[in-house]
Structure 1
Amino acid sequence: MKEKTVRYGIVGAGMMGTEHLINLRHLRCEGVAVVCVADPHLPSRQLAVDLAKSFDWPLKVFSGHLELLESGLCDVVVVSTPNITHYQILMDIINHPRPHHILVEKPLCTTVADCWKVIEAARKRPEMLVQVGLEYRYMPPIAKLIEIVKDGLLGHIKMVAIREHRFPFLVKVKNWNRFNSNTGGTLVEKCCHFFDLMRLFAGSNPVRVMASGGVDVNHKNEIYDGKVPDIIDNAYVIIEFENGSRGMLDLCMFAEGSKNEQEICVVGDIGKGEALVPESIVRISTRQDGRDGVRTLKAEDDRIKYQGLHHGSSYLEHLNFLSAIRHKGKRTPAVGLHDGLVSVAMGVAAQLSIEQGRFVSIKEVTSENKFKPSELF
């Protein structure tokens, strides 16, 4: 028996909105259709319409997300709008009389307080599934390394080191991503991905954070509405976890000449594993076998039909969420609201650490909210 078509609406038709549209197009054979899009920015709406037309997917177009919700056209809403807008859009979707499943781009929200309000609202709507777009988990080499760690091949994890050396932030509509007030700061906007991975690899929750970073190369000569961008372009971040594991992030956003954009190293008391992106290579070794015993694996996933901007991870993210939707009650989203919240809390703590030059505890950045820090986890 053929499964019912799952209808998607996309709120935010900029770079990531069109990326989701293309990924969903490649899932058409799985019974998916994008039926509508909402964006107040006319050029973005038109781009989505033209792109969908090339797929033979006629779109109903709205200037705002409330109109899209009222239309009743879609079963799932993908939120890919500027970070600062996530909170209100999510609350409007969750509180709408008609239930919609939600895939929201990272970060969940720009503040811990807003993340928690979204969680509280979603608890009252158990019929709705919400997945957070921390899709780096699905990149084949990273997914392979996660599997290696879960299988215990490295032993008890002691250290996680993640290096991202890459190009500067891309240009977005109205340059919203140039300012901390719109993004939550670079360590929330970009690095929530890596904090999420650290927590996965460590198998534990964060306790405190120390960071050093600055605005040293990028965007210093740019001015928007009389303001100079304030997002940092490089940082070192150290995370301490409850189980004694430590994580370290080495971020540089003016390193275009790097062979790999991400290099992830996980070391346990038995061995060491590495994942390289975009080379899609995984290396694994044990202390007993030493340097001569290092094995190199090519990480691939035959399910990927579209590589896109994130090496096939967005495609797998959608495939996973579609499965959760179709098997609701038996499966939950792989990346839930609490995952989104904790990754934001880690980024917020790191930003505060840079501002104040000290260790910042996770409890500190959550204590202003009306819940116990333990409820985060």
Structure 2
Amino acid sequence: MRYGIIGSGMMGIEHILNLQHIEGALVTAVADPHEPSQQAARAAVGDPGLPVFADHREMLESDLCDAVVLATPNMTHGDILLDILAVDRLHALVEKPLCTTMDACRDVVAASKDRSGIVWMGLEYRYKPPIARLIEEVNGGAAGPVKMVAIREHRFPFLQKVDDWNRFNRNSGGTLVEKCCHFFDLMTLIAGAKPVRVMASGAQDLNHLDESYGGETPDIIDNAYVIVEYDNGVRAVLDLCMFAEGSRNEQEISVVGDVGKVEAFVPEGVVRIGRRDRGRDMDEIKVHDPRIAFEGLHEGSSFLEHLDFAQAIRTNTQPLITLEDGMLAVAVGVAGQMSIAEGRAVPMDEVL
């Protein structure tokens, strides 16, 4: 299968490296207006003659690709994805977040209907082996009916991107959209219900305050607590800190039900399962997925997602992660950003 990559910055290169380990996959074209990114793509593919385009529309018209991966800066997703969706035969994998605004999300979801090509939402954290095992255990009843979901991400600050686009809310959608849509997707998947209200507290307390771009100081938050309430009574909370490099794990997830508790730890690769009637006597499982041929930046999750994307294309089956999933994750992030800015709880019907 011939793949085109639109956007060959850090995540575009990550997709190229993953595709090199997918049987039958071949990167045949790249589109990116930034010349150093074009050269980085050629180097990653190992082909100095790889066709590169400054304009993604030229690549879409070239007939060099069967599928495309969209990995451009967040604020460009809406317009570029509409161009991709207009080419009916093309399959597409869209990097998170789907878009930075709800209007743009609604536009691309509407445009994705009744197409020949499959459209897959890139939310690869579902595929991180410890998280996938946690979801499997929860779905199998290890915790009983879910009551509470807690996700902690304690990590390093945002990395530097081309033209520093990720330093400003207007470009990224805000930290809760740009970074945390992954976690809101996981919360909703685990809760098995619709989010109805979001309450958040957050700030920019440390990161990027000494930086200036065109006379502007970055405005992206670097820490937050976000509570999400669901229509089945489940409550979820995100604890985010982006100046917490001194952590054993970057992500820790806890799901509690009326029977017990299931936890996942990444990158430690451990899942713990406990029952209320057993107290501190817990099962600890070291998790690894033997299918992973390339670990990459996300513990092999991008590789596993590409396996399923390719399988869906080959078998002409529906995507396991949809643009609607991506839109709902963005919506919770948008509500969280609103809650912080306005100091109030935000009903989801104000956003959706």
**Paired residue type of 1:321:** F
1:1-80 map, 5 Å: 6-27=1-22, 30-53=23-46, 58-80=49-71
CA distance in 2 between partners of 1:340 and 1:163 (Å) = 20
CA distance in 2 between partners of 1:302 and 1:122 (Å) = 34
Q: Which residue of 2 aligns with 1:374?
A: none
1:246 partnered with 2:239: no
Q: Secondary structure at the match of 1:309?
A: coil
CA distance in 1 between partners of 2:162 and 2:146 (Å) = 41
Q: Secondary structure at the match of 2:278?
A: coil
CA deviation digits over 1:112-150, x for unaligned, max 9?
11111111111132x121111110000000000000011
Contact kept? 1:34, 1:57, Cα under 8 Å: no
TM-score, structure 1 as length reference = 0.92
Give 1:41 shift: 0.1
Count of matched residue positions in the alignment of Structure 1 and Structure 2: 352
Q: Which residue of 2 aligns with 1:205?
A: 194
CA distance in 2 between partners of 1:301 and 1:25 (Å) = 19
Q: Which residue of 2 aligns with 1:375?
A: none
Contact kept? 2:142, 2:262, Cα under 8 Å: no
CA deviation digits over 1:186-216, x for unaligned, max 9?
0000000000000111111100000000000
CA distance in 2 between partners of 1:316 and 1:333 (Å) = 14
**Paired residue type of 2:306:** H
Q: Which residue of 2 aligns with 1:93?
A: 84
Q: Secondary structure at the match of 1:154?
A: coil
CA distance in 1 between partners of 2:103 and 2:275 (Å) = 42
**Paired residue type of 1:20:** H
1:307 partnered with 2:295: yes
Seq. identity, %? 61
**Paired residue type of 2:145:** H
CA distance in 2 between partners of 1:109 and 1:34 (Å) = 25
**Paired residue type of 2:345:** F
User: Out of 234, 240, 258, which is 2:223 matched to?
Assistant: 234
Q: Which residue of 2 aligns with 1:217?
A: 206
**Paired residue type of 2:319:** P
Contact kept? 2:312, 2:319, Cα under 8 Å: yes
Q: Secondary structure at the match of 2:8?
A: coil
Q: Which residue of 2 aligns with 1:345?
A: 331
CA distance in 2 between partners of 1:51 and 1:154 (Å) = 44
Give 1:57 shift: 8.4
CA deviation digits over 1:284-342, x for unaligned, max 9?
011111112x00001110000110000000000100100000010xx211110110000
CA distance in 1 between partners of 2:347 and 2:103 (Å) = 16
Give 1:42 shift: 0.2
CA distance in 2 between partners of 1:298 and 1:51 (Å) = 32
Q: Any gaps of 5 or more consecutive residues in structure 1?
A: 1-5, 367-377
1:142-221 map, 5 Å: 142-221=131-210
Q: Any gaps of 5 or more consecutive residues in structure 2?
A: none
**Paired residue type of 1:349:** A
Q: Go from structure 1 to structure 2 and tell me whether the alpha carbon gap of 1:280 and 1:57 turns closer, same or farther (over 3 Å shift).
A: farther
Stretches (4+) displaced over 2 A: none
Contact kept? 1:35, 1:58, Cα under 8 Å: no
**Paired residue type of 1:123:** K
Q: Which residue of 2 aligns with 1:81?
A: 72
CA distance in 1 between partners of 2:114 and 2:219 (Å) = 38
CA distance in 1 between partners of 2:287 and 2:233 (Å) = 30
- RMSD of the alignment, in Å? 0.9
